[in-house]
Structure 1
Amino acid sequence: MNVAVAKNETGRPLSDSFAVARDRLPGAAEARRAAFEAYERTGLPNRRIEDWKYTDLRALMREVLPLAPAPDAAALTKAASALKLQGVKGARRLVLVDGVFAPKLSELGGLEKGLAVRTLRDVLEAGDAALQAQLFSLDSDNPMVALNSAMMTDGVVIEIANGVVLTQPLQIVHVASGAAPAAMFTRSMLRLGKDATATLVESYIAADGARTYQAHDSLVVAIGDNSRLDHVRLVEDSREAFNISSGMVTLGAHAHFNTFGMVSGAGVSRYQATIAFAGEGSTVETNGVNLLNGKQHADTTLFMDHAVPHCASREVFRAVVDDSGHSVFQGRIIVQPHAQKTDAKMMTRALLLSDEAEAVNKPELEIFADDVTCGHGATTGALDESLLFYLRARGLSEKEAQALLIQAFVGEAIESVVNDDLRELAITAAQRWLEARA
């Protein structure tokens, strides 16, 4: 990654905020200090950094807000009301309010055998060197990852033992109470043992009245040999919020990772993830949807690192952009020299609903092996006028006809969600966006 050394405009106040907040930041003081120094060397990323060319946070976000205070009783009450609309049938809910784990809103009783759930704060304060090393394994050359490493306040650490097949999905819910403009820094980790199966849902929502805030989140996932993880990620933050999230997923041998993400909220969002193949014979399916209108800006940046032979990956991404929205998809497939017999494909499509809408699709292949099957494609277009006419001629209004075609356009990605209840959750979120269109 090309790094442009530049100071954040608000670097000095943020340094002060880091110093003031250190009493609230659990454990790993030296690692935090090193991470913050790494962030300060660059500051907020800008267009001169290649991977951030289309999401210039120095222009879009301008500053990092002060750390959110711990939620009080009023904040927890507002969060409880917001959760009523975001429940997943049969899921075990783990709730973070304003960046702090909320045990009273979470479901920690009766854990299935082989499942352990702890807070990030407990793990860091316990000083477990192995776990801390894994928690800090994300790329600190990325300034926003480094900032998250320095400032992370809480999160959940989930461990699933070998041979365990969880029957109950796990849902991590991030709730912003909106007490005041502030930033939340969270990090979670999931370690899935060998021959195990689990489903993880991540939801980002705002309580009534929450408007201007920043959610800085990251997730570290390790999938053991012969294991499967289904992952669903839904971003429905306030339209004035910023959501900057990162992920690091590592797969063992013959593992399966199926992930779906949809962004319909937040004024500015960026999801950056690295998926690394560490064992042969593994498969990754990634599907994503951006549903944007107004002046929303959403960036999905994925790095698929094929480092071992006989692995396969599929990426399907859809963007529907209305008004002056701006969608970015950057997908890079890297095939290392020893990763022979790699089978990797990527396809991204964008649907523009107005003359001012923009979609940037940047698929990339970096292939250093000669016995591989790889390919990518990208298309951008508008709704088919003949199909609109056909539907209008059969009694549908223009808005109804457009909604039907949009649902069909994003349907391929949503259908990748295996769990029926989670698929319905994604469909409902998409319908809320469609109903809100003018």
Structure 2
Amino acid sequence: MAEVKNLRTGAETGLSALFESGRKSFAAEEAIGREEAFKFFEATGLPSRRVEAFKYTDLRAAITDAAPPAEAPSAEAARNAVAAAKGFATIEAARLTFVNGHLIRALSDLSGLPEGVSVTPINDAMGKGDSRLKRLAPVEQARENAIYQLNTAFLADGVLIGVTAGAKPDLPLHLRFVNTGSEPFSTATRVLVDLADGAELSVLESHEGPDGLTYQPNDALDVHIGKGSVFRHSRMNTEGSAAVALSTISVKLDDEAELETVAVVTGAVLSRHQIFLNIAGENTKVVVNGAAMLRDGQLADSTLLADHAAVGGVGREQFKTVIDGNATGVFQGKIIVRQAAQQTDGKMKSDCLLLTDEGQMMNKPELEIFADDVACGHGATCGAPDEDLLFYLMARGLPRPLAQSLLVQAFLGEAIETVTHEGAREALIGEIEAWLHARG
């Protein structure tokens, strides 16, 4: 019987052409497996609804054109874009600034880089064969993902961040990604964070761009958390209204490592944030939260895979989605507990608040357990604001829109209150308030 193959879309054909034309300019491709990554994409294509992990987010249908990789912006364009950037802008931090996917050293500020923290541009690391590049792609399941492999294939810029053993800097590191322009473009950035044993680091990550511009960012963050180390991460997506924003975080945890990550989404017409966790060490602690506020036909997909492979891991995952108008929310979460991962304690939940009848929410929580001494559970809820609570607030003189806004803030606040860094927590709450204010 003849093999049946999908016809390639215009975007898939265009991506192949872009890769071929850019092959000569790619730096040290063997250091990151660029060729292998694109061969993976060539074999799979853009994921469609036929791929179970993309059942609710059909990228094959959503991405109709292959946007060319962005050129480095002019100095003036970069300055103007960064001047208008808002994400985490008021927080005291060391800053690395990327404009259209390119590291802009003149607009970065490492004067406050804490002792024990080093930053190396990824292109420099590839040119020198930096041994830390071996820590890229620390989660096997991420290497089987088309979005992640596309990032590897077209990787243009990024940084390696190292934290020495025992270092516990007070100041966070802000990764600022700003997009600007008038024509469609794509970006592919990679950040690797490597924490030695007993280290701590807080990273703030902001992504923003202009409305109406059909750009396609694809960013990835790889993290290795050494024994007894702590990594705290806050991410804000306020991309432009026509952007298709793809992002991946992959994390490997050693013994007694701790992870705290939260992602807040208000931007992009379509976004997918993927989280892959390789919980390789014993007695780890993981907190993964998300908050999405959607309207005007937006689709936001949060996809999580937590793979427990060692004894005594504790995991808490909580995702909150607020949907206004005809927007769509997606949550896919899977906890895997290997046979060796006895005494794993994992809880995962997705809650959705529907402010209108036109919106929809797709929830798909899963457990795959091979151990017999565990305490794991998952759940999902979806519904309208509680009319009794609204009545209670309105009976005390609040107009209905304000009463509803207070309920939304309280609902989303559960996902934000776990953020350790006070400034980051306040900035994320401010983004929630700004969204509610824009809603009116």
TM-score (norm 1): 0.95
1:393 maps to 2:410: no
| Matches of 1:12 and 1:266, distance apart in 2 | 24
1:296 to 295, 298, 303: 298
Query: Are residues 8 and 29 of structure 1, via their aligned partners in 2, closer, same or farther at CA, if it must alter by over 3 Å?
Result: farther
| Matches of 1:5 and 1:150, distance apart in 2 | 23
| Matches of 1:414 and 1:71, distance apart in 2 | 34
Q: Which residue of 1 aligns with 2:14?
A: 13
Task: Assess if the C-alpha contact under 8 Å between 2:137 and 2:250 holds in 1.
Answer: no
Q: Which residue of 2 aligns with 1:266?
A: 268
Deviations 1:131-154 (A, max 9, x none): 233224553321111111100100
Gaps of 5+ in 1: none
| Matches of 1:83 and 1:385, distance apart in 2 | 38
Q: Which residue of 1 aligns with 2:236?
A: 234
Mapping of residues 313-328 of structure 1, within 5 Å = 313-328=315-330
Q: Which residue of 2 aligns with 1:165?
A: 168
| Matches of 2:112 and 2:438, distance apart in 1 | 39
Aligned partner letter, 2:200: T
Aligned partner letter, 2:424: L
Aligned partner letter, 1:155: G
| CA shift for structure 1 position 80 | 2.1
1:186 to 185, 189, 213: 189
Q: Which residue of 1 aligns with 2:289?
A: 287
| Matches of 1:122 and 1:337, distance apart in 2 | 41
1:176 to 166, 175, 179: 179
Deviations 1:66-97 (A, max 9, x none): 11111112321222212356414211111111
Query: Are residues 191 and 243 of structure 1, via their aligned partners in 2, closer, same or farther at CA, if it must alter by over 3 Å?
Result: same
1:27 maps to 2:28: yes
Query: Are residues 417 and 83 of structure 1, via their aligned partners in 2, closer, same or farther at CA, if it must alter by over 3 Å?
Result: same
| Matches of 1:217 and 1:85, distance apart in 2 | 17
Task: Assess if the C-alpha contact under 8 Å between 1:336 and 1:368 holds in 2.
Answer: yes
Counterpart of 1:140 in 2: which secondary structure? helix
Q: Which residue of 2 aligns with 1:205?
A: 208
Counterpart of 2:183 in 1: which secondary structure? coil
Query: Are residues 387 and 5 of structure 1, via their aligned partners in 2, closer, same or farther at CA, if it must alter by over 3 Å?
Result: farther
| Matches of 1:244 and 1:295, distance apart in 2 | 17
Counterpart of 1:155 in 2: which secondary structure? strand
Aligned partner letter, 1:189: L
Counterpart of 1:248 in 2: which secondary structure? strand
Aligned partner letter, 1:25: F
Deviations 1:285-342 (A, max 9, x none): 1111111111010000000110001111011111101101100011100000111111
Query: Are residues 252 and 49 of structure 1, via their aligned partners in 2, closer, same or farther at CA, if it must alter by over 3 Å?
Result: same
Q: Which residue of 2 aligns with 1:105?
A: 107
| Matches of 2:223 and 2:205, distance apart in 1 | 13
| Matches of 1:385 and 1:136, distance apart in 2 | 47
Deviations 1:255-281 (A, max 9, x none): 111111111111100011111111101
Counterpart of 2:143 in 1: which secondary structure? coil
| Matches of 1:212 and 1:262, distance apart in 2 | 21
Q: Which moved more, 1:19-28 or 1:265-274?
A: 19-28
| Matches of 1:408 and 1:224, distance apart in 2 | 35
| Matches of 1:264 and 1:12, distance apart in 2 | 31
Task: Assess if the C-alpha contact under 8 Å between 1:136 and 1:149 holds in 2.
Answer: no
Aligned partner letter, 2:134: A
| Matches of 2:52 and 2:399, distance apart in 1 | 44
| Matches of 1:13 and 1:85, distance apart in 2 | 33
| Matches of 1:102 and 1:412, distance apart in 2 | 36
TM-score (norm 2): 0.95
1:141 maps to 2:144: yes
| Matches of 1:84 and 1:342, distance apart in 2 | 40
Q: Which residue of 2 aligns with 1:415?
A: 417
Counterpart of 1:291 in 2: which secondary structure? strand
| CA shift for structure 1 position 352 | 0.5
Q: Which residue of 1 aligns with 2:248?
A: 246
Counterpart of 2:169 in 1: which secondary structure? coil
Counterpart of 1:10 in 2: which secondary structure? helix
Q: Which residue of 2 aligns with 1:344?
A: 346
1:37 maps to 2:42: no
| Matches of 1:305 and 1:271, distance apart in 2 | 17
2:121 to 116, 119, 132: 119
| CA shift for structure 1 position 377 | 1.1
| Matches of 2:277 and 2:87, distance apart in 1 | 31
| CA shift for structure 1 position 386 | 1.9
1:278 to 277, 280, 286: 280
Q: Which moved more, 1:145-154 or 1:21-30?
A: 21-30
Task: Assess if the C-alpha contact under 8 Å between 2:311 and 2:341 holds in 1.
Answer: yes
Counterpart of 2:305 in 1: which secondary structure? strand
| CA shift for structure 1 position 23 | 4.0
Aligned partner letter, 1:435: H
Q: Which moved more, 1:240-249 or 1:67-76?
A: 67-76
Task: Assess if the C-alpha contact under 8 Å between 2:230 and 2:258 holds in 1.
Answer: yes
2:371 to 363, 369, 376: 369
| CA shift for structure 1 position 57 | 0.6
